[in-house]
Structure 1
Amino acid sequence: MDPAPSLPPSYEEPAYRVFLDSLDYLPPTDVERIKSAFAFSAKAHAHQKRMSGEPYITHPLAVAGAVVEWRMDADAVCAALLHDTMEDTGATKQELAEKFGKPVAELVDGLSKLDKMEFASYQEAQAENFRKMLMAMARDLRVVLIKLADRQHNVQTMSAMRVDKRVRIARETLEIYAPIALRLGLNKLYRDLQDTSFRLIHPHRAEVLSKALKAARGNRAELLGRIQDGICDKLAHAGLKADVFGREKSLYSIFRKMKDKHLSFSQVLDIYGFRVVVDNVPTCYLALGALHALYKPVPGKFKDYIAIPKANGYQSLHTTLIGPYGTPVEVQIRTREMHNVAQEGVAAHWLYKDDGESSADLQIKTHKWLQSLLEMQSSDSAEFFENVKIDLFPDEVYVFTPKGKILAMPSGATAVDFAYAVHTDVGNHCSAARINHELAPLRTELKNGDLVEIVTSPKATPNPVWLSYVKTGRARSKIRHFLRTTQNEESARLGERLLRQELLSLGVVPISIPGEAWDALVKAGGQQSLEEVYTDIGLGKRLPSVVARRLLAREDIQADKAQHMTLAIHGNEGMAIQLARCCQPIPGDPIIGSIRKGSGMVIHTHDCPSIRKSRSSEPQKWIDVEWEPEDGKLFDLRIRIEVKNTRGVLAQVSGAIAEAGSNIEHVSMDADPERLFTLLRFTIQVANRTHLAAVMRGLRHIPEVTRITRERGGEA
């Protein structure tokens, strides 16, 4: 390793000397390596200035200073000093590895942006950078801590930037970096990132709130002191040694509370917060009992995060008391070790090495969380980015599996989210849920303490509707992946059938076409396999007639030589073939199919009013299809029944439908102004036209029924 080069006099400045003094926890050999890293960074950034006009080296030095505050190792401090060298100065990973060791080079590489790659948009670049950072985080937690220190210094020193860029970076900090800091338990950093970003986005509001907070602090001082003295006296009287101090709300949290709950400034500050720090866990519960004897607790406002810690390792007892003059008083009770973890999160591992067990446990939990984020990887960076944003939630509920294991879920999570949290296969095959031993819909939102059991079925598959109510990024990602894969598989099968039908109509048996012709077709379209060609045809991205002619290299074939072929369908092919909702075709109806780009084939009845215009203007998009006989499948359709308005007529109509072997999916009714007749609209399930005729025959035998019609395309 190279010896540390001598530094130019300009770097012998107070900030650098203070930085060197703060390295007293590291051995001299490590300090020399850090000096060498500083000299390398200073030389690499020598001709660069920040937007404020300061030498660029002030930024890496500030980031390294924050890392030293967490008492991290020499590799992390060197990486902090060098974090912009690969990106901004042309230094290579190989060069850094030779001078400072491979671990430092890996850390710097994880921190470097993907500026060498071309992206379609800023959003895509941001998403891909974030994906790379997450992968580096999963390998080494120090990456994210240096990245957060880097972001903290950047937002603190953005006053010289253009307003639009300042606001964009501040919003990104609020949406991504602040929640990551919270998820890692870095509460002090979390609050700082929030408040600084808030001041950049809403400078005027922040100024007004800041002044109001200072004024309110003076007005509240007497009552605050009185409550604090009461708590201290009560704990001392109970023989409990404790430190008690007031808890200040951050500017951004006041702003969010005012905005989200439509509260005034005075209403937000009506709640007084205190923190009680004691020596051990039993004392936490003794202190809780003493405070409940001092002031009445508010029912339902007690939370025990010591027995069930939050996912980021946070532990405390939370209770709300009714203080003097009916003032709500929020109290957090915790041990010193818990307080350290609450303030510094995963960084507590380096800061407080004596408390090894809990911080090591926190590191394991953090790694598990990072791995769960990486499981959501998809081919689309923006989708992955959105999924991760969903997953950076501060509010959680704790639920139990049937075996008593505790799972932390985001607030608002449903039984489907729980199923995917247990295992992907459980999510993909869940059919029902039992919550607290009672059957409940899959969309049921989970509450703290719920015991959740998922009922699975081998035939059950994810429903696209689930995407409208799942809360976790993991569930959303797994459902989308399943639907995309299934659609592609079904579309490939449909595309193969369509191409086969087209070839047969041209008088060619597919098996007689040589393999070279198939290979040439795949290469010409830029696909990897024949399966992809079939998928494109099934999804409507390529027309089977064009593909067939290209395959045969016989574009001169005349249409009159072609035979007329019809595609046979069952109606239950899945996502590749869908029955139109406008006319709801059933077996026995004359039908026609349309290939819709990206959606597969949609089946309509021949007389569907909604397709008349398209059939005449774009005849090439329509394919003749027919039903293939199949037993046991039921199809939805709508019927309209006009009845005389007499007592019990709805029961008679429902009974006749059930007697004919049909299910009722939905019913609605409209009465005429004179209330002589009522119009009943039913969605029923039938097997085919013969079954529908039997249902209608049964209904006509009811004297009160005056008219029955089947609804098509929104019209009768």
Structure 2
Amino acid sequence: MAPRNDTAEPVAAPAGAAGLAAAAASHVTVTLAPLTEQLATYLAPADVQRVREAYKFSDAAHLGQFRTSGEPYITHPIAVTEICAGWKLDTDALMAALLHDVMEDQGVPKQELAERFGGEVAELVDGLSKLDRLDFATKTQQQAESFRKMLLAMARDVRVILIKLADRLHNMRTLDAVAPEKRRRVARETLDIYSPIAHRLGLNVLYREFQDRCFEAMYPNRYRTLQKAVLSARGNRREVVGRITEAVRAALPAAGIDADVYGREKTLFGIYTKMVEQKKSFSEVLDIYGFRVVVHSQPECYLTLGTLHQLYRPVPGKFKDYIAIPKINGYQSLHTTLVGPYGTPVEFQVRTRDMHHVAESGVASHWLYKSSDVSLNDLQKRTHQWLQSLLDIQRQTGDSGEFLEHVKVDLFPDAVYVFTPRGQIISLPRGATPIDFAYFIHTDIGNQAVAAKVNNEFVPLRTELKSGDTVDIVTSPASRPNAQWLNFVRSGRARSEIRHYLRTVKYAESVAFGERLLRQELTVLGLELPESTDIAWNKLARATGANSREEILADIGLGKRLAAVVARRFSPGADVVATTAAAVDEFVAARSAPILIQGNEGQSVQLAPCCSPIPGDTLMAFIRLGQGLVVHTTDCPVARRMRAREPERWVNVGWDENPATHFNARVDVIARNERGVLGRIAAEVTAADSNITHVTMQDDAASSVTLHFTLQVDGREHLARVFRFLRRIPQVQRIVRIKG
């Protein structure tokens, strides 16, 4: 939770001076009567009394404190509680709203709140209280950690965020009392975090008010100018709106539909956003007004749509059915744009009354309409699913800033809706890729993804998905997440899972590879690897600043420490000293036998993509600090240029007796451009027990074509076999393996 808006900061009354707060307090009357009357409409008298007790405690705790505006501070908790009462939240939530600042500002311990008002109220207040620690490195880090605490509390109890949103709403409504710079900062924070959360939870009325108030605080001149323009246009377009309203209200009863028809106006922020995104002037934004039609049943929605389309001509491509496929926040309506009188485009939204409740109040409608027959199961499932994903991300993420980054990604209001092969609808953030889809289905599917089919056609894993796509993920147990995926994934869960895998698995792979390198070096010296309990490990750890044996081995695997130097420190009589990358010269001079690799070490050993080494190639490797070995072929032109610049960082490597299988080799095939040649090449590659993982084509002339293949082979001998099979094709003129 971010540090609270300055409008809510308590200010002590100045001692011995008639300050602003004291002056204001002299004529401000604080009363609980309006709130009590509001609560009496849906709470039992005993529950109202509990709320009054919480008020008395809060009033005493905040006595002598004033808001920046000069009002007694207790007016803020009362206003927040009134907003929550408008959503008909339960008694515990209302009490927490009144007490939401006593723990943070007044130091009231959680235990005291639990004893006086119950454990549930204390938990809610604790979730609302921002962290007040002194060991944060930066303000940004403190803000991120506070948001993390609030969102995790929300994941356990959604009432936390509802109270927090009410708190922020009242602060935005009283933002005039703070300085312009702080006003803009608070508005930006609200627009970035709280407004998307309100939208994600389906609180659309709150979402729209947040947007307009943020717009006014950030760009006051633009807001006032646009407000005047809308007021002027409202008079000019009154005739058009009136004609449409009359026509619709006459047409629907004639079709046997009992409906409520409302005219609605786009928010100023919505108009401004459209002007900026589409680079239009105000006079060019025609669809400022729209209409909402509320009917009794779902079949009547579609009947109403047909009636409207008979009344006015629909605009092609402007129809959206959010009833069949609801938005991610549970919103359901039919949207259509019609060409009204004088050629003016007019948007209509058609929904049932139950859908209208959810559209306006979202997850809060659970409390607002729980006594009716409204079924909110789908909405509650979606909300629970998203809140649960916050806990999943938290488990994978240690850093609060990274956690907030992932959550921000998931707060994008737009979404795409795609299908699994079995027809299940999955909602993903706009711009999502097959990798996002894979991680949404299951972590193991994402970690093992190797290819994707969209609408039964293979596509790159970075392809952006569109609504209506059917996505199928091809997996392989040998596949691993790629750090490059972070450049194009869009969902917080996918980003979190990839980073978690790279952190944990890379470390484990580095430890295993480091142990193999060290064992190999010790064998060269005629020594054995010390047992994990050997005291020599402790001596080496103390001398090098490492925390454990595993850290030393991981550093060896990542190239931060040098296996040959570490091995010599275990020789009889040798001193255990620091072994850092500065000892590369000593390492190169000391080493005679090459480092043996298998090709499946993972992140610790990377096969250079420029030359794609395969078993049978002669090798050399570059020590990249913190990333291990990057292996090239000895004839790779890229490697030769790098070695000329930094010869001290290169070491000899060789293939292990039992290398891994399935290496990539890039091959160019020049052939006569005849029908069926690609099919014949693919057939011969398959016959040679190889596999094509990628292919592109380039026309060289009218009679020839160059085919660029990436093939899966086991080594040079297997590649030579593939070449022999390809030479049997009469159209093939030349075959070249590409390096560098």
TM-score range, shorter chain: 0.7 to 0.9
Pairwise mapping of residues 470-549 of structure 1 onto structure 2 (< 5 A)?
Answer: 470-511=489-530, 515-521=534-540, 530-545=549-564, 547-548=566-567
Aligned residue in 1 for 2:651: 623
- Specify the alignment match of 2:624 in structure 1: 596
- Which residue of structure 2 lines up, in the alignment, with residue 401 of structure 1? 420
Question: Match of 1:159, as an amino acid?
Answer: D
Q: Which residue of 1 aligns with 2:205?
A: 188
- Gaps in structure 2 of 5+ consecutive residues: 1-21, 578-585
243, 264, 277: which is aligned to 1:260?
277
Percent identity reads: 55
SS at 1:159's partner residue? helix
Q: Which moves more between the two structures, 517-526 or 92-101?
A: 517-526
Residue pairs, 1:173-252, within 5 angstroms? 173-252=190-269
SS in structure 2 opposite 1:213? helix
Aligned letter for 2:575? E
1:322 equivalent to 2:339? Answer yes
Specify whether residues 616 and 220 from structure 1 end up closer, same or farther in structure 2 by C-alpha distance, changes over 3 A only. same
Aligned residue number for residue 596 of structure 2: 568
SS in 2 for 1:22: helix
Deviation at 1:210, TM superposition (A): 1.5
Residues 513, 190 of structure 1: alpha-carbon distance in 2 compared, 3 angstrom cutoff: closer
Q: Residue deviations 1:197-244, cap 9 Å, x none? A: 122222222222122111111111111111111111111322332221
C-alpha change, 1:52 and 1:527, in structure 2 (3 Å) is farther
Partner of 2:401: 382
Counterpart AA for 2:624:
R
Q: Cα distance 1:694–1:183, how it changes in 2: closer, same or farther (>3 A)? A: closer
The verdict on how the C-alpha distance between 1:138 and 1:707 changes in structure 2, with shifts beyond 3 A counting, is: closer
Question: Deviations for 1:462-519, whole angstroms, at most 9, x for unmatched residues?
Answer: 3444333333222222233333333223222221122223434554321478623234
Report whether the alignment pairs 1:424 with 2:443: yes
CA distance in 1, matches of 2:718, 2:30: 90
SS, match of residue 375 in structure 1? helix
Match status 1:27 vs 2:47: no
1:327 to partner: Cα distance: 2.0
Contact 2:623 2:649 in 1 (8 A): yes
CA RMSD of aligned residues (A): 4.2
Is the contact between residue 271 and residue 328 of structure 1 (CA under 8 Å) also seen in structure 2? Answer: no
**Aligned with 2:375: secondary structure?**
helix
CA contact (8 A) 1:397 1:409 kept: yes
Q: Out of 73, 95, 98, which is 2:112 matched to?
A: 95
Pair 1:350 & 2:367 matched:
yes
SS at 2:606 equivalent: strand
The alpha-carbon distance between structure 1 residues 508 and 48, as it changes in their structure 2 partners (threshold 3 A), is farther
1:410-467 deviation digits (Å, cap 9, x = unpaired):
3333333222222222333344444445555544444434444434443444344433
CA deviation digits over 1:400-419, x for unaligned, max 9? Answer: 33444332233333333222
Structure 2 Cα separation of the partners of residues 356 and 136 of structure 1: 29
C-alpha separation between the residues in 2 aligned to 1:559 and 1:432? 41
Match of residue 154, structure 2, among 125, 128, 137 = 137
**1:135-160: per-residue Cα shift (whole Å, max 9, x none)?**
21121111010011111122333334
The CA deviation at 1:97 is: 0.9
Deviations 1:275-317 (A, max 9, x none): 0122333332332232222112234433332333323222222
Contact 1:505 1:562 in 2 (8 A): no
1:295–1:322: 8 Å Cα contact kept in structure 2? yes
Q: 1:14 to 1:287 in 2, by over 3 A?
A: farther
The residue type paired with residue 39 of structure 2 is L
**TM, length-normalised to structure 2:** 0.82
Correspondence list, 1:660-699, <5 A: none
**How many residues are treated as equivalent by the alignment?**
699
Deviations 1:674-709 (A, max 9, x none): x9xx99896766776778899999999xxxx99999
Checking the alignment, whether the CA contact within 8 Å between 1:506 and 1:563 is kept in structure 2 is: no
Aligned equivalent of 2:608: 580
Rounded to whole Å, the distance in 1 between the matches of 2:456 and 2:695 is 29
Is contact 2:336-2:348 (8 Å) kept?
A: yes
CA distance in 2, matches of 1:202, 1:545: 64
Q: Is the 8 A contact 2:199 2:413 kept in 1?
A: yes
TM-score by length of 1: 0.85
Contact 2:393 2:496 (8 Å CA) reproduced: yes
Provide the rounded CA distance (Å) in 2 between the counterparts of 1:560 and 1:543.
9
